[in-house]
Structure 1
Amino acid sequence: MNRIELYAAIRRDACAGISNRALQRKHGVGYRTVVAALESAWPKERKPPPKRGSRLDRYRGVIDDWLRADLDAPRKQRHTAKRIFDRLLDEHHATDVSYWMVRE
């Protein structure tokens, strides 16, 4: 049963005179769902979850600068994920960043 059908069933049972608490038990939903179903036949859109930041966000500008400088360097001298990780540790003391995160 999708949410629209659930809301319709709750509204139908409410018109039959069933109490809110009985509606909760019958349909296996909480108080807020029953109230929302009685207020509107259409469920509200779900909010998208907030975007989480990365531990690398703080160093993104530094890493971008290194990679831009690498565009002119010979192929063998360019930064790898391991070299970036090592430089972050040495120059910026980035102990909160792990090597596995850099490899993503």
Structure 2
Amino acid sequence: MPDATDEAFFDRADAHINLSNEQLREFGDLGKVSASMMFGTTRFNAWVSTRNFKSGEEMAQAREAMLKYFCEQYRMMLEDNLDDHINNFSKYMTAQDA
């Protein structure tokens, strides 16, 4: 989750969401836009991870630890956002229809 000192965390996240919303208006397919966003996130995270190693062999040794970290982070963030949408379902769905 965001570092308390990183005031731009949600601004950056919102920028990605806004891009996906623009793509949704253009392409009209929630599943495809969501899949593209998720693929982009995983590709970027793989690239960021690569920068921490001196070789592919070294990276391969850390592969399971990286998978565990990213999967745990994704699950934690998804749980928080699902709970938020469950608790605010009427508010969010009304705002969408407005």
TM-score by length of structure 1 reads 0.30
Could you say which structure has the larger radius of gyration? 1
More helix by share: 2
TM-score by length of structure 2 reads 0.31
